[in-house]
A and B are shown apart, each in its own frame.
Chain A
Amino acid sequence: AQSVTQPDIHITVSEGASLELRCNYSYGATPYLFWYVQSPGQGLQLLLKYFSGDTLVQGIKGFEAEFKRSQSSFNLRKPSVHWSDAAEYFCAGANTGGFKTIFGAGTRLFVKA
């Protein structure tokens, strides 16, 4: 069955430190992959997406993600975390574009001063 897995339920990083959130997918073919961010009490906002081509994709708010086919991974990174990045992050995948996207369980990011 198709799935998206986020191994970390929560992560704490210091402000200014680098960040990497893990995501693994299980699809028959290369899926369309997405990262979303959810601030408390809000809906989800699209950070970035990967369809094909360059395996390093840039998104909004200084985030980037790297697609690694050999590891079935699509990890999200940011070089320097700001306190405003504290939120929940969802990795997601779909067979065709964004149709019927499947979401991971989410990783909550805490940022300490």
Chain B
Amino acid sequence: NAGVTQTPKFRVLKTGQSMTLLCAQDMNHEYMYWYRQDPGMGLRLIHYSVGEGTTAKGEVPDGYNVSRLKKQNFLLGLESAAPSQTSVYFCASNGGGGQVTYGYTFGSGTRLTVV
């Protein structure tokens, strides 16, 4: 089925370890986003991309890096994980190109625990 796929679904890291979360979409969407979800805070934008080869900072970018080498993939990296990065991470995408008139398609999320 068409949509947004995130891997892995769960991960436990030790403080200081690194990891990469992968997001893949097969809808030919231009825009892709990484959000984190924490209780009582809704979703906060970490980084986003407006097209292949582009990335930009969102509301809470510190401690994260991203890359979009291919249009369908958007990677989120944690270079040195901290307990404050324990969260559920969501990838989303939508169309781009002029007026975007529809909402996001979300992945199912990655639950990350940093101990």
Name A's B-contacting residues (CB within 8 A).
9, 34, 36, 41-46, 49, 51, 90, 92, 96-106
Q: Which residue in chain A gives the minimum CB-CB distance to B100?
A: A97
A46 to B3, CA, bound (A): 13
A101 to B44, CA, bound (A): 9
What 9 A-B pairs come out closest when comparing CB atoms? A97-B100, A43-B106, A46-B103, A103-B42, A103-B43, A105-B42, A44-B106, A43-B108, A34-B103
Name B's A-contacting residues (CB within 8 A).
4, 31, 33, 35, 40-45, 48, 58, 90, 92, 94-96, 99-109
B44 — which chain A residues lie within 8 A by C-beta? 103
B52 to chain A, nearest CB (A): 17
Count of CB-CB pairs between chains A and B under 8 Å: 65
Whether the Cβ atoms of B58 and A105 lie closer than 8 Å is: no
A45 — which chain B residues lie within 8 A by C-beta? 106
Whether the Cβ atoms of B101 and A97 lie closer than 8 Å is: yes
Q: List 26 A-B contacts (CB under 8 A).
A: A9-B40, A36-B103, A36-B104, A36-B106, A43-B90, A43-B106, A43-B108, A44-B90, A44-B106, A46-B104, A46-B105, A49-B103, A90-B42, A96-B99, A96-B100, A97-B95, A97-B102, A98-B94, A98-B104, A100-B33, A100-B45, A100-B48, A103-B42, A105-B40, A105-B41, A106-B42
